[in-house]
Amino acid sequence: MGTARGFGVDIGGSGIKGCPVDVEGGVLAEERLRISTPQPSTPDAVADTVAEIVAKFGWEGPVGITLPCVIKNGTALTAANVDEDWIDTDAQELFAKRLGRVREEIVMVNDADAAGLAEMRFGAGAERQGLVVVLTFGTGIGSSTFLNGQLVPNTEFGHIEVDGRDAEEEAAASVKDNLELTYEEWAPRVSRYVRTLERFLWPDLIIAGGGVSKKAHKWLPLLQTRTPIVPAKLKNDAGIVGAASAAAQHA
């Protein structure tokens, strides 16, 4: 078990969670703190919540932060399941000011990319070559893609069209909850989504993450797809671990 630490914050549509992370072992170093995402989830409101989480742990170093947005050079270019005011917001600068850090101490990562980085280093994708796609099922569907272990950033496979609708409107875990679907009723929706994705890609492996991965044994065996699908090992902690690891590498 390693002793080097980083700090990760994972911002989602329903919750914001963070804590220190053992970035050598890929595990949470303390019990994470989760606070419901403010509604509306404007940049200022979310930044206040992130500051509260970081302050709770008395963390002084660099911070890795995820957003459910396409991120380029620290700026959010899209907004999925968060307020549209995030679009074109310099998130890196916003959090640097709110947390009292210099800009370089804040590392912004797309939420699914962060989860994928953690899974590829510490989890189900460790040492896997070829084309690996990590899908996170939560409020929406996030995706990250790796070719021979290298991240292809900002893929947005949760927004491909399935049955004439945005994929996450059909197959996200929130859809299962909102419609009160059983796993047997929800699994065909996930299968249709994955088969649609397979029309464009020929992955060697798909890793299923997000909170629903904790009960993967109840629905993964029900899927009918071409690509092998395995559950994420870091489950819903992957975003925090990936964000913290990215920040530690920039330290």
Instruction: Identify whether 54 is part of a domain.
Output: yes
Asked if residue 121 belongs to a domain, the reply is no
Tokens of 55: 């302050």
Strand, coil or helix: 73 = coil
Q: Are residues 219 and 242 in the same domain?
A: no
72 and 11 inside one domain: yes
Interacting residues of 84 by C-beta distance below 8 A, sequence separation 6+? none
Q: Domain holding 18: CATH number?
A: 3.30.420.40
CB-based burial of residue 226 (10 Å sphere; 0-12 exposed, 13-18 middle, 19+ buried)?
Answer: exposed
Give pLDDT, residue 81. Answer: 86
Domain count, the chain: 2
Question: What whole-number distance in Å separates Cα of residue 77 and Cα of residue 161?
Answer: 20
Q: What is the pLDDT of residue 56?
A: 98
CB contact at 8 A, 218 and 239: no
The verdict on residue 119 lying in a domain is no
Residue 251, pLDDT above cutoff 70: no
Q: Contacts from 70-77 at CB under 8 Å and sequence distance 24+?
A: 70/110, 70/154, 70/156, 71/108, 71/109, 71/110, 71/113, 71/153, 71/154, 72/154, 74/103, 74/106, 74/108, 76/108
Tell me if 108 is assigned to some domain.
Answer: yes
Looking at the structure, do residues 194 and 155 belong to the same domain, yes or no?
yes
pLDDT-derived band of residue 235, with 50, 70 and 90 as boundaries? confident
- Based on the fold, state whether residues 100 and 160 are members of the same structural domain: no
- Do 108 and 207 belong together in one domain? no
pLDDT for 193: 98
**Which pLDDT belongs to residue 211?**
84
Q: 118 lies in a domain?
A: no
Residues 222 and 245 in one domain: no
How much is the mean pLDDT over the chain?
95
Sign of torsion over alpha carbons 241, 170, 223, 143:
negative
Question: pLDDT class for 2, splitting at 50, 70, 90?
Answer: very low
Same domain, 183 and 136: yes
Task: Determine the pLDDT at residue 3.
Answer: 67
Collect all residues with Cβ–Cβ distance below 8 Å to 70 and sequence separation of at least 6: 76, 77, 78, 110, 154, 156
> What Cα–Cα distance (Å) separates residue 183 from each residue in 158, 187, 195, 217, 218?
19, 6, 18, 10, 7
Would residue 140 count as lying in a domain?
yes
For 227, the enclosing helix (H) or strand (E) is none
Looking at the domain assignment, is residue 226 inside a domain?
yes
pLDDT at residue number 6? 97
Mean pLDDT of the region 61-79? 97
DSSP 90: B
137 lies in some domain: yes
100-153 pLDDT tens trace? 999 999 999 999 999 999 999 999 999 999 999 999 998 889 999 999 999 999
Range of the domain at 162: 127-232
- The per-residue pLDDT for range 26-58, each reduced to its tens digit, is 999 999 999 999 999 999 999 999 999 999 999
- In this structure, are 212 and 157 located in the same domain? yes
Positive or negative CA dihedral for 161, 141, 183, 231?
positive
Please indicate, yes or no, whether residues 17 and 48 belong to a single structural domain of this protein. Answer: yes
11 with 95, same domain: the answer is yes
225 and 141 belong to one structural domain: yes
pLDDT surpasses 60 at 1: no
* pLDDT tens profile 206-225: 999 988 999 999 999 999 99
User: Does 161 lie in the same domain as 109?
Assistant: no
Residue 59 pLDDT greater than 70, yes or no: yes
- What is the C-alpha radius of gyration for the chain, rounded to an integer number of angstroms? 17
